[in-house]
Amino acid sequence: MSLENDEIKKLVRKFALKNALDHGKAIEGAVVSRMIFVDPSFKANMKALSEVIREQVDEVNRLDRASLEKEFAQYAGEFKAAEEKKAETSSKHDFSVDGAEKGNFVTRFPPEPGGYMHIGHTKAVFIEDVLRKKYDGKLVLYFDDTNPDNERQEFVDSFHEDLDWLGITFDREYYASDHMQLIYEHAKRAIGLGKAYVCTCRRETIGKNRLEGTACEHKAQSAEKNAELWQMMLDGKLGDNEAILRLNSDIKAVNTTMRDPTLFRIKRAKHYRQQEKYIVWPTYDFSAPIIDSVEGVTDVLRSKEYEMRDELYFAVLDILGLRKPRITSFARLDISNNVTSKRKVRALIAENKIGGWDDPRLVTIRALRRRGITVEAIRELALSTGMGKAESSISIDVLLNMNRRIIDPVAKHLFFVSGPVKVVISDEGERDAKLRLHPVKDIGFRTYETWDEFYISREDADALEVGDTARLKDLMAIKIVSKDEKAVHAKIFQSQEGRIVQWVSGRDYVECTVLVPGTPLDDKENFREDSLKTVDGYAEDYVEKLEEHETVQFERFGYCTLDDKEAMRFVFVSK
């Protein structure tokens, strides 16, 4: 298609108008990207394309807000439909389970309360919720709380709160630690059947033997001897790490998970729920299949990283003669350059490298909520990869883009100037400013009485030279008369040209701080010391009317969420 074609110019102008409305000014690079996305063949004639774009961007940037909105109105429906189609397409996956029957479907969400809920958990629970509704079934909340070392009531409460915020409801709830007597009975039964034995080898020896496929002397112990040692474990006659109960399986199995895995270990740490009632605790590999079976779970849905353990899950049930649920595996949701491991997060907190489980660099639900990420965006991302097994690592930008599409139509637009520089206008008297709270939506205005002093960002001040013209957005045009270290001096100038500059009144501003989170890990998974930055500046005093946790767009700076109203601290969401 010829670049002289009027249709090309019309397409360029459409994208320039959209870009100007979104960001206060059309940017050539953004329009270039949209054009190449529409037709990659444009790359063959970039010089000519750039000339057309430059011409249209210049024209669009001379338009005032009202003119922009009036001309863009003809395209508004088209852009809205495209965004809706994109959202619909991203969530079109087949969510189903082979063999599942309507009215006979029970699944569970099994978090361990050793840390806070993170985005990886959301894929499982949203898929489970979709399937629960599809099959008219039930969804159970099952706390896997059999490791007293790190589990806390605090984490149980946090899961309740986060799941409630995500809009997930459960048909019932239970705890693994409430099933301890039942689990002990099945352990005793497995010992009597010769399917479990007590091992007192050192941890290093056990690891070496499993790696080499070598049986230790305890594997051949009689059931009576194992029952005696098991009772000693329960009676507290053996110390922590002195003995474990192991599955008597195939020590040379190709699937190394089956090489006599640990079923129980001694842990004397006080349990948050059971206190000091128990000191011998089951592993998930032993307790989960038993509890799933007796609690009526028909379907276990979990990430494919557990596939090697499926054989062990079913082996436990076969040994005990218990009903076997179905297992369906899918790829986990992994965010690149981030950390979800509870152990690693605890270490970063202990080293004072992050501020806590809600540090805005993290992808815990607390952190995402604090950053202004919506439930809708989290759900869309969680379901966007479906139930396939292809592993991939997703950039946080994917989530931020989904979130931007959701908040853009409703976020109020305000001015914020970073590194503020004073602008003094020599011939300015009182002037009223009436600014829209949203460029398209009719949600009201904010009004200010302005005088002869304003503040603009350091970036804008540095870009303006003596003799340049600039437009204080939606207020007036000025011409730069002089500059010094303390201020920019200007006068009113009648012009529709020049740099469009966001501003705050010299009388009506509030000092603000914006936390700007980056990804906490580099590509080698090392912690990035510069992953959280702070930007200080002035915002128009309308911010005092905002609710805590409300997200706004600071024009040309980005979307920000009010994190602490008293401190007037915001968290940067995204551009």
Same domain, 76 and 169: no
Same domain, 142 and 218: yes
* 526-535 pLDDT tens trace: 999 999 999 9
Q: Which residues constitute the domain of residue 279? A: 106-330
Average pLDDT over residues 387-410: 92
Same domain, 286 and 227: yes
Average pLDDT over residues 343-363: 97
Same domain, 318 and 421: no
Q: Is residue 22's pLDDT more than 80? A: no
Residue 351: Cβ within 10 Å count: 9
Asked if residue 473 is part of any domain, the answer here is no
Asked if residue 477 is part of any domain, the answer here is no
CATH of the domain at 225: 3.40.50.620
- Quickly state the pLDDT bin for 85 (edges 50, 70, 90): low
Average pLDDT over residues 455-471: 95
Asked if residue 464 is part of any domain, the answer here is no
Average pLDDT over residues 415-443: 91
CATH of the domain at 354: 1.10.1160.10
Q: Is residue 83's pLDDT more than 80? A: no
Write the single-letter amino acid at 134: K
Average pLDDT over residues 212-226: 97
* 34-54 pLDDT tens trace: 887 777 777 777 788 888 899
Same domain, 171 and 286: yes
Average pLDDT over residues 407-430: 92
Asked if residue 471 is part of any domain, the answer here is no
Q: Is residue 67's pLDDT more than 90? A: no
With pLDDT > 90 as the criterion, what percentage of the chain qualifies? 81
Structural domains of the chain, count: 4
> Three-class SS of residue 499?
strand
DSSP string computed for 501-559: E--EESSSEEEEEEEEE--SB-TTS-B-TTSEEEEEEEEEGGGGGSPTT-EEEETTTEE
**150: phi then psi, degrees, rounded to nearest 5:** -120, 0
CATH of the domain at 556: 2.40.240.10
Asked if residue 19 is part of any domain, the answer here is yes
Q: Kindly give, in sequence order, each residue whose CB lies less than 8 Å from that of residue 121, ignoring residues fewer than 6 positions away.
A: 109, 111, 365
Average pLDDT over residues 80-94: 63
* 315-338 pLDDT tens trace: 999 999 999 999 999 999 999 999
Out of 61-70, 166-175, 386-395, pick the least confident: 61-70
90 or 308, greater pLDDT: 308
What is the predicted pLDDT for the residue at 1?
42
Average pLDDT over residues 142-166: 97
Same domain, 145 and 274: yes
- Quickly state the pLDDT bin for 392 (edges 50, 70, 90): confident
Same domain, 233 and 130: yes
Mean per-residue pLDDT of the chain: 93
By DSSP bridging, strand 416-418 and strand 445-450 are unpaired
Q: Is residue 462's pLDDT more than 60? A: yes
Same domain, 387 and 445: no
Q: Is residue 171's pLDDT more than 70? A: yes
- Residue matched to tokens 């218990």: 322
Asked if residue 36 is part of any domain, the answer here is yes
Alpha-carbon distance of 177 to 273, in angstroms, equals 8
* 540-558 pLDDT tens trace: 999 999 999 999 999 999 9
* 235-274 pLDDT tens trace: 999 999 999 999 999 999 999 999 999 999 999 999 999 9
Of 374, 407, 440, which residue sits at a domain end?
407
Same domain, 230 and 290: yes
Asked if residue 476 is part of any domain, the answer here is no
Asked if residue 99 is part of any domain, the answer here is no
What is the predicted pLDDT for the residue at 51?
87
Same domain, 142 and 181: yes
Nearest to 257 by CA among 220, 208, 313, 308: 308
Same domain, 298 and 363: no
CA–CA–CA angle 488, 492, 498 (5° rounding): 75
What is the predicted pLDDT for the residue at 343?
94
Same domain, 360 and 429: no
